[in-house]
Structure 1
């Protein structure tokens, strides 16, 4: 059996419900509460949403990137001291969805009936950088390939990764810089309706283009997501547990897959591969196969737009449009309300913010609210299937398909 068919069989045997979600408003570094307070607030919001007491949680998976060992315990001790197993998770920017992946797996396998996934981040201003400089970097191979393909050692690495990937698309397909600016402007229009987003001001395509250039001809400042602090959580459980405790049963995880890098990342001589194009495509294909659907069946998508360039690349990796077709996809408005899909109705990482450990669970929160019909002015009409894409370089990509119960 393939990985996807094995997942499909498991999902059919023991469906996993998302019974509760919660998050707090994201904030700039220095304008946030200490991480235990942020995390506890997100968990309490999640438990209130589910209508369940913390003492009934059987396992917890807690994700963060920047923090000392067992910070997950420190965060959850604010909620209660019940003795439950707490597992700390770090998978770079896909940390939150990795915590969800593990919680879902625990419930689906029958190891537990109810698990909590929590993600939080306390970030500092400025570009991301190494915390431990006395040992090999996890990004050695990525940096070596990036140095070879794009150079520009004076530019922060994350910008070189994703700017270089966008540049590769521009060079192959003639994609203009304005296409990325349109994606950023779309994100701001969506975020204007999200009270939890960091940036709620609408910006135009022209204003994005007029912002200071981080890499001349390749990226402006507004095309990059901001460092952000915050927390989000999700409660997953079995149908029997939900029925026993009177919990919601209207949203379930239809399929989920995680992929990591293959030789293509470093041997294709393509910056799009370095930032996970094939990794994302593989995870998405596993999910579609496991669920027995295609991308055309999805109505709403939360994807990893750490840079506007990566949103465009992800359209193609997820099969929302053909490879090379992203410029037309954007120009036709197929990434927003009234088009084929609504991508990042929350405002995405570009406007909502990107607290690394919390991002995947914030995406989950948005999509669950969409499927419940609770998204207010952001609501996507008729949302029945929702797709989530969360990427961490180093690398790991988690793709999740949520379904509204009939």
Structure 2
């Protein structure tokens, strides 16, 4: 029996500023899930397991969310893996199909977020990222800034000190992603900025300005994952995109022994996951044309170029200068606008990335379409920590 796995349907909501739309997470899930099922051309009763991701919510919010699509008694698994939650749900759905446990599974993610920077929910227990934060405090001064931009900004400062990377190179990533989002109707922001505006925006933590940071967002994404037998029986080859390789990696000892802000924000996790995903896919970075990666901050996008093999160690800045990260270059990175401009509802981000790459490989990305796309790679990371890298190619 073949263990090939395919994305046969994707759907998402428009990502919105928290509180700007009168909806709740069941509404988000219904909208994204209904679109994914319609895209696959199957009804909810074809789904044999569902993996539902969210970071902020009550214990069985996953069940409540998918009950908007149908109540059929199937296993529904709630997933929380920080900012990599959506891709973790995708990983689990694909794993169930690949193992032959089911022929069709749903991965769905959503988030209803509070306005402002991310904070803690519980004050009566240790924070899961406490060790990562303490290690970063030993390396870079902290002036009370929000923790996420502080940590990723520190990684950017380390890259600048080691390799001569400049603040302008980071700013150009923000420039690119805002420009890409102009053509994405699902993006939270669709405004284009000049480089001067990106650099002159309010500083959050050097070298990061506000326009180089992802916002908090509300929204949902979904994907239907199927076996080769299911695709064949339902005649879905015209819409199927193969998950050719996939890997999830959590922190290794290097995270805490390297004494590196770059390692603390997951660069080595990402590199290991990428190596394993490429190996399974029997593809390399030179065989993909389009990339959706976790640009929670512009500094992380540049660092991730190196982790994914788009640039050699220390050469991420040179990739920016070459223009090989956008249309007309070697790769198009974050054609959706990325987290910086499309938005970042934590549980939905990984599935929105999956949706964008599925559309790209089908040739359905409209004004965002990357010409001749025959390979794609997705990178989604959550501190504390987990990195998921997925490689896609056309089914035939």
* TM norm structure 1: 0.96
- Deviation digits for residues 218-247 of structure 1 (CA, Å, limit 9, x no counterpart): 211111110001000000011111222232
- Deviation digits for residues 322-374 of structure 1 (CA, Å, limit 9, x no counterpart): 11111111011000011110000000000000000000000000000000000
CA distance in structure 1 between the partners assigned to 2:288 and 2:235 by the alignment: 29
* Aligned residues: CA RMSD: 1.0
Is the contact made by 1:120 and 1:231 (CA closer than 8 Å) also made in structure 2?
yes
Q: Does 1:20 align with 2:9?
A: yes
Deviation at 1:13, TM superposition (A): 3.7
Match of 1:373 in 2: 363
Q: How does 1:305-324 map to 2 (within 5 A)?
A: 305-324=295-314
Is the contact made by 1:147 and 1:153 (CA closer than 8 Å) also made in structure 2?
no
Is the contact made by 1:369 and 1:375 (CA closer than 8 Å) also made in structure 2?
yes
Q: Choose from 304, 307, 317 the match for 1:327.
A: 317
Deviation at 1:153, TM superposition (A): 4.2
Match of 2:372 in 1: 382
CA distance in structure 1 between the partners assigned to 2:127 and 2:183 by the alignment: 40
Q: Choose from 102, 106, 112 the match for 1:116.
A: 106
Match of 1:80 in 2: 70
Q: Any idea what SS the aligned residue of 1:282 has?
A: helix
Q: Any idea what SS the aligned residue of 2:37 has?
A: helix
Is the contact made by 1:98 and 1:398 (CA closer than 8 Å) also made in structure 2?
yes
Q: Any idea what SS the aligned residue of 1:175 has?
A: coil
Q: Any idea what SS the aligned residue of 1:47 has?
A: helix
> Which runs of 5 or more structure 2 residues have no equivalent in the other structure?
none
Q: Does 1:227 align with 2:216?
A: yes
Match of 1:284 in 2: 274
CA distance in structure 2 between the partners assigned to 1:66 and 1:280 by the alignment: 24
CA distance in structure 2 between the partners assigned to 1:29 and 1:259 by the alignment: 30
Q: Any idea what SS the aligned residue of 1:383 has?
A: coil
Q: Any idea what SS the aligned residue of 1:149 has?
A: coil
Is the contact made by 2:6 and 2:395 (CA closer than 8 Å) also made in structure 1?
no
Deviation at 1:290, TM superposition (A): 1.4
Q: Any idea what SS the aligned residue of 1:103 has?
A: helix
CA distance in structure 1 between the partners assigned to 2:191 and 2:212 by the alignment: 15
Match of 1:3 in 2: none
Match of 2:49 in 1: 59
> Which runs of 5 or more structure 1 residues have no equivalent in the other structure?
1-11
Misfit runs of 4+, over 3 Å: none
Match of 2:233 in 1: 244
CA distance in structure 2 between the partners assigned to 1:151 and 1:180 by the alignment: 20
Count of aligned pairs between the two proteins: 394
CA distance in structure 1 between the partners assigned to 2:140 and 2:2 by the alignment: 48
| Deviation larger for 393-402 or 144-153 | 144-153
- Deviation digits for residues 18-50 of structure 1 (CA, Å, limit 9, x no counterpart): 110000100000013101000111000001101
